[in-house]
Structure 1
């Protein structure tokens, strides 16, 4: 995917990779006649809100690599050239269903996002490098006071991958679903009864600045909670919020070994981590150092980047993904063999990703994409089918 469709400064390609590697999950080169050029997406508005809903299907056309939007019939429209300063993008809004109603549109073979907003349209701009998407961690972003959210998806010749995501923010709730070739339906993303307000209450009750992640409108409407990565970047969370845990991990593995088995289908591929000074070195079974990590800070942990960068390779990336999950879930001290698949171990330490803990706790099935590599151990809120008949997006109550 071209690195031009940007969310603030982050390419959508990077965002999609962070959200579990949707592009890597299905190769566009794999032919499967069962996947048509477009499939129906039924949007159901169970929000209970009276405002109009606007829907957008934005992304990269897989057949051409061009970036643009799709209309309600699934017809692709390339973005025109942008400017500097950014110029307004064409109006790509599709009128959504009223409260209590459903509307079906068609989505094409894309890798991108389905946005929805309540009450007002989103403000998209085009730079010379592509589309600038909402970045509400910036107080001057024109979408800061709009209630909106989005889902990530890839539809290609190998099938559909569709998720609900909280990697950037927790906001207007929704669930995703896919009707499989056998006629059955898989769904994920629904909150428990009272889960929306319960999430925000949990953050506000957590000491240490976690309540500062919550953004409200001047009329009192709760709009969202920023991810802890953006909390650190904006100063809402202290930069040292994870230091105590990271220091304890570093101390433990100075005198013991952390074993990482990154591939579930390759149990004999193991890497062994030991700390020396400020560096954790990983060796393979032959004792050769294959990669090393500096002691990460909170931004590296919450963003699974910088000092925990995860390139798309077969060694460092898989190890980094595992470390990222272990730090966010605070399992590295309770289990020296990672990844830890025992959900009872997750988020038990006093120093942990409280945002992710609250998000998973309020999900009806416990699944969420609350940080970049929340798919480690299959904890992500993702649906997939190789021959999808129908996709679903359900807008849930804000209660």
Structure 2
């Protein structure tokens, strides 16, 4: 089971800054390694963007053998971050020159849990606090990276293999795909948009009433930079806080007179939990009728962030139930299917009240896979590739069309 972990903390001077304080990708169940995973593997970065700007690459994360945060250079050598400050101090320049248009560059990935950033035309600005690295937080208009075109992939490379994804949990921006060459020489990839999918997404978002077009950020020269996630849309006032209320109310009403059945583990079909709303709270019981957890009525922020009233601790009961509820709310399937989660995507996002950002991203990906919200992996709808004995990883910068 995969989950994307985001630890967001307010850093002094950067009220909406994101601080890297742990693994960005964590595997709940380690897959058996098919072969010994070397200390580093190659990451081939290909620039098919057709853009002329200089590309900069960053490989930042947590060294799994020590738990130290830092960065890796092009050879895969780890460099720990120096101590930060309060207010935050500039981080060392960890940039690696990326490939020009039509070219490829290969770097080495160490056993990290972290991010590979790439930016066009400008280097990213990273700072260090006493708590760790401050990630770009472009939902903050004062963030120095606000007007830079950039994106990132998340990965974990450990003794059980490589997990690498394309992610839109925080924003949809510069298009890219990820891949892995497996131990048998075959390759798998994900994250690529359909032809015209980049412009198709932004055009669709512009046409969605209700404030969704306000998620789009542009530069002063009109360059489209990104669309913020709906969670950040709520935080910045781009989306109304009531955007999901109608659907939430209908779900709470339905399950005050009927039962929601959650089967959180695909490999454990006998493990079921039963939810009913009573006194404004959804109580979940096990097969013996004992209450195992309860959820207060969520709001849009809890749904889009899969946190707060839908907090998902890394346990075997509340966390798995919450993941399922979060996915059902974002995909708007809780009213049409009282047995969750849904395995097929045919019924996703059909209600007028839904996560339209996620809906439009999935509609534009070539394989239908995306990480458009934190628990998009429920039912395996995430844009992730994995192999237990990877020979090589791939990051392809795709065209903006």
2:293 aligned residue (291, 294, 302): 291
Q: Determine the structure 1 residue equivalent to 2:272.
A: 270
Preserved CA contact (<8 Å) 2:37 2:161 = yes
Residue 149 in structure 1 maps to residue 156 in structure 2: no
- Alpha-carbon distance between aligned partners in 2 of 1:58 and 1:87, rounded to the nearest angstrom: 17
Separation in structure 1 between the aligned mates of residue 147 and residue 286 of structure 2, nearest angstrom: 50
**Number of the residue aligned with 1:84:** 86
Q: Secondary structure at the match of 1:357?
A: helix
Alpha carbons of structure 1 residues 372 and 14: separation in structure 2 relative to 1, 3 Å: farther
Residue 97 of structure 1 pairs with residue 64 of structure 2: no
Corresponding residue for 1:332? 334
Find the residue that maps to 1:115 and give its secondary structure: strand
Report the CA distance between 1:319 and its aligned residue: 0.2
Q: What is the aligned-residue RMSD (CA, Å)?
A: 1.8
Pick from 170, 173, 176 the counterpart of residue 172 of structure 2.
Answer: 170
Question: Cα offset for 1:248?
Answer: 0.1
Among 348, 357, 370, which residue is 2:372 paired with? 370
Q: Where do residues 1-399 of structure 1 align in structure 2 (5 Å cutoff)? A: 8-12=16-20, 16=24, 22-26=26-30, 34-399=36-401
Alignment partner of 1:69: what SS? strand
Quick check: 1:26–1:156 contact (8 Å CA) kept in 2? Answer: no
Which 4+ runs in 1 deviate beyond 6 A? 1-7
Deviation at 1:4, TM superposition (A): 9.9
Distance 1:15 1:280, change over 3 A: farther
Indicate how the Cα distance of structure 1 residues 83 and 295 shifts in structure 2: closer, same or farther if over 3 A, else same.
same
Q: Tell me the TM-score normalised to structure 2 length.
A: 0.95
Which of the pair is proportionally richer in helix?
Answer: 1
Q: Which runs of 5+ in 1 are unaligned?
A: none
What is the distance in 2 between the residues matched to 1:218 and 1:119? Answer: 16
Partner SS for 1:255: coil
Q: Is the 8 A contact 1:4 1:131 kept in 2?
A: no
Shift of 1:9: 4.9
Q: TM-score scaled by structure 1?
A: 0.95
- 1:96 and 1:320 map into 2 onto residues whose CA distance is 40
Unaligned runs of 5+ in 2: none
Q: Equivalent residue of 1:301, what SS? A: helix
Give 1:369 deviation, angstroms: 0.1
Deviations 1:161-188 (A, max 9, x none): 0000000000000000000001000000
